[in-house]
């Protein structure tokens, strides 16, 4: 029998909420037993995903957006849900030398699986990290 999933969620209205989301990710990752390095990188992935969503939603007047954390067995899933259009998270080794635009690339290298899907008028950025067996 599969263990029940624990789900947590919050609305992001302002930049201070992003810091709180980073703290929640860190807390959940530590509770799951991720290594300190992985906890730090998951905080960073949360910051990147939320900052991207915040900037888009603020510019298009679609705040707030939501972040969800789902834990199942040895897997932490972080989902950022915002109103708007789809975008790509294709992983590439091409170096971006511009001043911005490396966040999704960074996320793709931090988590084990990342994908985007539409859900009605919303787009979901789903990031999944699995805890390695001891």
Q: Which residue has the tokens 């810091």?
A: 19
Residues contacting 94, CB < 8 A, separation 6+:
none
pLDDT in tens, 4-48: 687 999 999 999 999 999 999 999 999 999 999 999 999 999 999
CATH code of the domain containing 12:
3.30.565.10
Within-domain flag for 79:
yes
Q: Measure CA 52 to chain center.
A: 10
Within-domain flag for 20:
yes
pLDDT in tens, 38-95: 999 999 999 999 999 999 999 999 999 999 999 998 999 999 999 987 665 655 566 6
Within-domain flag for 34:
yes
Q: What is the extent of the structural domain holding 87? A: 6-130
Whole-number Å distance between alpha carbons of 13 and 33: 30
Within-domain flag for 74:
yes
Q: Which two tokens stand for residue 70?
A: 């789902």
Within-domain flag for 1:
no
Domain count for the chain, please give it: 1
pTM value is 0.86
The answer to whether 125 and 80 have CB atoms below 8 angstroms apart is yes
Per-residue CA distances from 71 to 6, 7, 86, 94, 105 (Å): 5, 7, 25, 32, 24
Question: Quick one: pLDDT band at residue 134, thresholds 50, 70, 90?
Answer: low
Query: 107 exposed, middle or buried (CB, 10 Å; 0-12, 13-18, 19+)?
Result: buried
Question: Quick one: pLDDT band at residue 97, thresholds 50, 70, 90?
Answer: low
């Amino acid at each position: 029998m599969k263990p029940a999933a624990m789900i947590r969620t919050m609305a992001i209205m302002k930049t201070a909420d992003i810091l709180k989301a980073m703290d929640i990710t860190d807390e959940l990752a530590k509770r799951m037993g991720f290594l300190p390095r992985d906890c730090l990188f998951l905080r960073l992935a949360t910051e990147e995903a939320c900052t991207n969503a915040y900037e888009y939603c603020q510019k298009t007047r679609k705040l707030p957006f939501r972040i969800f954390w789902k834990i199942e067995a040895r897997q932490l899933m972080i989902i950022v849900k915002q109103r708007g259009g789809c975008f790509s998270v294709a992983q590439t080794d091409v170096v971006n030398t511009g001043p911005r635009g490396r966040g999704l690339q960074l996320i793709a290298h931090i988590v084990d699986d990342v994908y985007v899907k539409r859900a009605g008028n919303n787009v979901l950025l789903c990031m999944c990290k699995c805890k390695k067996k001891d």
